[in-house]
Amino acid sequence: MAGSEQPPAAGGGPDGGAAPGAAEGLGERPLSQGLSVLVGLALCVTMLGLGCAVELGQLGRQLRRPVGVLLALLGQFVAMPLVAFLLALVFALDEVAAVAVLLCGCCPGGNLSNLMSVLVDGDMTLSIIMTASSTLLALLLMPLCLWLYSRPWIHTALVRLLPLGAVSLTLGSTLLPIGLGVLIRYRYPRAADLLVKVSLWSLLVTLVILFILTGTMLGPDLLAHIPASVYAIAVLMPLTGYALGYGLATLFRMPPHCRRTVSLETGCQNVQLCTAILKLTFPPQLVGGMYMFPLLYALFQAAEAGLFVLAYKVYGRDGPKQEMLGEEEDTDISYRKLKEEEVPDTSYGTVTTEEFGAAPTEPAQTAL
């Protein structure tokens, strides 16, 4: 367990998650610069793919009925930061680990949720709007959440050096690729579809490369020096986010496919952005092994989401289809019955009219 009684030195210690000499390894210029370039490119590709997935017409409809924006606000900047804060307190993390966990919890939604929403037959429009809106809201709300929830560790050197301005600058730099992606979607839809697929696949490839490179830079004993509490949080945090997202959508009385979408959007964080902020704004000797937390989070959030997709494919996929089929059959039967009832009524009315016209003739003949 990582304790807060004895904060680690700048180089990292047992509770800080960095092996001796890990900070120096992380600060080596060739690998460090190469990793910074890779992180920056991965973030640009991710944001470009996100912009390519946004259609202006859908965006306009969602803004007129901003349920998706409201859910993104509540899920990404109310529920997840609070979950990260409470887990950091419960597991008594030191300031280094706490900042890494808080930073990941305050990040907007990631592209992994869009991919998983497709696999569970979710609402893709809602998924994309939630991801895009949470990314835009992060410009203001992410620094605010970091400032608010870092209060218990405010007397530590790392939190005093928390670069909220650099965080805002990194977030602002994501607007350019997002805007470019929206423009590509508007002018070249086919190219936009291709870029969306490229960004989704690059997500997996980038995370694998980052994990390997970071492990190489920090040494073979990296995993042993990361506290068990950090592993526990990396497992519990996305799981709690999925559950809270589903409960939030249920509270809004959304249909099942939208509940699955909101669940995935809430639990899946933009780990590329979290990694970029840790890498580009914090000195390596301060962050140490906690640079690995967003990668651990990405690993467990993908594994847990994969289990949910598997459970849906096995147990939940046929249920909604059968219900929809039953509704269609009932509607068709009711329509046929209505048509059958309408025909006799019409013919009956016609006969009555003829009889009504013939009725006066018979009494006239009798009188004669």
| Structural domain spans, the chain | 42-310
- Mean pLDDT over residues 188-197, rounded? 85
- pLDDT grade for 368, boundaries at 50, 70 and 90: very low
Helices (H), ranges, the chain: 22-26, 29-52, 56-64, 67-74, 80-90, 95-105, 112-119, 124-149, 157-160, 164-173, 175-187, 189-218, 222-225, 228-251, 256-267, 271-281, 284-287, 293-311, 318-358, 361-367
Q: pLDDT digit string (tens) for 120-151?
A: 888 878 888 888 888 888 888 888 898 899 88
**Among candidates 233, 270, 237, which has minimal Cα distance to 72?**
270
In the predicted model, is pLDDT for residue 81 greater than 70?
yes
Q: What is the mean pLDDT of the chain?
A: 74
- Does residue 21 come out as left (phi exceeding 0), alpha (psi in the -120 to 50 range) or beta? left
Q: Would you tell me how many other CB atoms lie within 10 Å of the CB of residue 231? A: 14
In the predicted model, is pLDDT for residue 343 greater than 70?
no
In the predicted model, is pLDDT for residue 333 greater than 50?
no
pTM of the predicted protein model: 0.70
What is the CATH class of 42-310?
mainly alpha
Q: Alpha-carbon distance 79 to 73, whole Å?
A: 9
Q: For residue 248, what pLDDT is reported? A: 93
Q: pLDDT digit string (tens) for 260-293?
A: 999 999 999 988 788 888 877 777 677 666 777 8
